[in-house]
Chain A
Amino acid sequence: MIADQLPAWQIVIPMLAAPLCVLVRNSTAAWVVAMVANLLTLLNAWALFVQIRAEGVIRYALGGWAAPTGIEYYVDIANASVILLVSFISSVVMVFAFHSVRKTVLTGKHYLFYSAWMLCLTGLLGICITGDAFNVFVFLEISSLSTYMLIAFGQDKRAFTASFRYLIMGSIGASFILIGIGFLYAATGTLNMVDLAQRIPDAESKRAVLVAFSFLTIGLMIKSAVFPLHGWLANAYQQAPLVVTAFLAGTATKVSLYVLLRFFFSIFGPDYSFGAMLLNVVLLPAAVAGFLLMSLVAIYQTDLRRMLAYSSVAQIGYIIAAFCIASQAGLTAGIVHIFNHALIKSALFMSVGCIIYQVGHAHSRSFDNLFSTMPFTVSAFIISGLGLIGVPLTVGFVSKFSLIGASMEKGWWLIGAMVLVSSLFAIVYIGRVVEVMLFRKSRMETPHSVGSNEAPLMMLVPLYVLVAVSIWFGISGSTTLDVAGQAARALLGGYQ
């Protein structure tokens, strides 16, 4: 009975938790509600994932209204795994949030913070699970609006301007997506994704489809912070409370990238997107310029959060470059990097969160000999940092290896070489910070430099859960590659 309703529960659980958080009001109680809802969501996502692997695609008619009339949830291996990823990151970061929120978010507003978080999670999961193009827009706005709220919880007054700038950019992006969906509806007369995929080949010559494609491309590029349209990301990541950044870095842009995949591969089809529309002519230079320039920019950042934000834009560049290869191998590399980067970047931001929790700032040049006082946090930072660079036995290596392999297979030697060059930049920007933390002797003998100054256990445990998972998937890379390969096949094969 319950097993039939899994796709609906996936959205309903976090959605019900949001008003519940507001009702209980008390900070700890709201956290407990959010945490329980997160765990249930994760459990549900796991059950859904297992069910998909055993039985194949699920098409769930909401309210019993069959597909072309009603809204359906379409779950295959590609979005089931993204749903699992989002629920997992959200649950882990929620444990971390308990102490961090108490210290950084205004007292008395905690219940609103958790409520906004649950709404954001609802939106992100909804974007993934839905099989209706207009529904994507609605869930996108649910997650975006709550994200603006979460960013504005930041301590500095610049959080408000960062949030406002993101709101303007995000609304333009979402509006572009809305226009694109409108033109698609005008050209085909349907909003259901499976129907759209069937009808677009007949309508390909219509200008409305072409216009829809262009608007959707730009809108999704803004939402997933692809290089020239990434302006909102650095400020937002820097000014938001660190928990929010850790949550968003692993989920929000990743979900947008999934939507991009869904539209370009499942709905328009790779032949139309990359053959007729020459999408790679637009995206590939943006992706390559993105990962080269942004890695370079990251080197010059003095704020740790800003450095990691620019590094995120660079990583999105890798993912887009992998999508542009548009082959089974390329798509697999892109999807695997979505997972791996989500794990690494959330772990990195969480370790920065621990540092800020104890030290009070994130100026990377003043972490003299931090290792002696916060050994566990700094070790987690170093392990995840190695993953970001792509050292063997880390998840970063798995994704970079498959990305370079895929570009070689396509004959794009230059892309592979540039990925290596930008990895060298990553060594520089991670290395600079690590060098200060490990080796530089403290210039002023502050009393707290003696003895342990480690973050609370409830922050370290979730951090190490992510680190452990990333090490596990780094050593046995075949598990994630296998799932990503199946997801790539599902996306390239279109709807059955």
Chain B
Amino acid sequence: MQILGLYNYWIVIVLMMAGLYIMIARYNLIKKMIGLGVFQTSIFYLYISMGKVTGGSAPILDDNVTQYSNPLPHVLILTAIVVGVATTAVALALIVRIHEEYNTIEEDEIKAIEAAEHDS
């Protein structure tokens, strides 16, 4: 029961490992970015999950409510989402430039091109 009750954390773990695995195992740079996105999203879930107080209401002051959920993790995650968006933007811009220069976004092909140029 304890294990099922913490289902949100299980989702976090599955997403986190999936994201990390995609980043390691996939050679396509866009897929790597998708992996990074999944990985970062799992962290957002982790923070938001821990902000929930059982029986707590939304953190808006009201006379009828005595217990509130913790709003701080939400605020932190708003910042982290902005950071995540900025990271994705920079990475996609880099991928566009890599594609212009190498004509491919497969990492193994890029490595082959770099190795060939290094030898010549």
Q: Which residues of A have CB within 8 Å of B86? A: 141, 145
Q: Decide if B14 is an interface residue (CB 8 Å cutoff).
A: no
Q: Decide if A149 is an interface residue (CB 8 Å cutoff).
A: yes
Count of A residues near B, CB < 8 Å? 24
Q: Which residues of A have CB within 8 Å of B29? A: 164
Give min CB distance, A243 to chain B, whole Å: 20
For residues 85 through 120 of chain B, which have their beta carbon under 8 Å from a beta carbon of chain A?
86-87, 90-91, 94-95, 97-98, 101-102, 110, 114
Mask of B15-35 contacts with A, CB within 8 angstroms, 1/0: 000001001000001001000
Residue among B73, B76, B86 with most chain A CB within 10 A: B76
Give min CB distance, A171 to chain B, whole Å: 6
In the complex formed, the residue of A with least CB distance to B50 is: A186
User: Which one of A134, A158, A163, A172 lies within 8 Å of B94 (CB-CB)?
Assistant: A163
Q: Once the chains bind, are A175 and B79 in contact (CB under 8 Å)?
A: no
- CA distance in complex: A149, B43 (Å): 25
Give min CB distance, B45 to chain A, whole Å: 11
Q: Decide if A372 is an interface residue (CB 8 Å cutoff).
A: no
Give min CB distance, A6 to chain B, whole Å: 25
Q: Once the chains bind, are B43 and A182 in contact (CB under 8 Å)?
A: yes
Q: Decide if A16 is an interface residue (CB 8 Å cutoff).
A: no
For residues 247 through 268 of chain A, which have their beta carbon under 8 Å from a beta carbon of chain B?
none
In the complex, which range does the number of interface residues on chain B fall in?
20 to 34
- CA distance in complex: A199, B28 (Å): 44
User: Which one of A163, A164, A175 lies within 8 Å of B43 (CB-CB)?
Assistant: A175
Q: Once the chains bind, are B36 and A141 in contact (CB under 8 Å)?
A: no
Q: Decide if A167 is an interface residue (CB 8 Å cutoff).
A: yes
Q: Once the chains bind, are A185 and B98 in contact (CB under 8 Å)?
A: no
Q: Once the chains bind, are B94 and A160 in contact (CB under 8 Å)?
A: yes
* Count of A-B residue pairs with CB < 8 Å: 64
Give min CB distance, A148 to chain B, whole Å: 6
- CA distance in complex: A137, B43 (Å): 13
Q: Decide if A161 is an interface residue (CB 8 Å cutoff).
A: yes
Q: Once the chains bind, are B83 and A138 in contact (CB under 8 Å)?
A: yes
Mask of A150-173 contacts with B, CB within 8 angstroms, 1/0: 001000011011011001100110
Q: Once the chains bind, are B50 and A182 in contact (CB under 8 Å)?
A: yes
- CA distance in complex: A198, B98 (Å): 48
Q: Decide if A179 is an interface residue (CB 8 Å cutoff).
A: yes
- CA distance in complex: A138, B76 (Å): 10
In the complex formed, the residue of B with least CB distance to A148 is: B90
Q: Which residues of B have CB within 8 Å of A160? A: 94, 97-98, 101
Residues of A within 8 A of B (CB): 134, 137-138, 141, 145, 148-149, 152, 157-158, 160-161, 163-164, 167-168, 171-172, 175, 178-179, 182, 185-186
Residues of B within 8 A of A (CB): 20, 23, 29, 32, 36, 39-40, 43, 46-47, 50, 73, 76, 79-80, 83, 86-87, 90-91, 94-95, 97-98, 101-102, 110, 114
Considering the complex of A and B, which 9 residue pairs feature the smallest CB-CB distances, nearest first? A157-B101, A141-B83, A186-B50, A160-B98, A164-B94, A160-B97, A182-B47, A167-B91, A134-B76
Can you offer 28 A-B residue contacts whose CB atoms are under 8 A? A134-B76, A137-B80, A137-B83, A138-B79, A141-B83, A141-B87, A145-B87, A145-B90, A148-B94, A152-B94, A157-B98, A157-B101, A160-B98, A161-B114, A164-B29, A164-B91, A167-B87, A167-B91, A167-B94, A168-B36, A171-B40, A171-B87, A172-B20, A175-B40, A175-B43, A179-B46, A182-B43, A182-B73
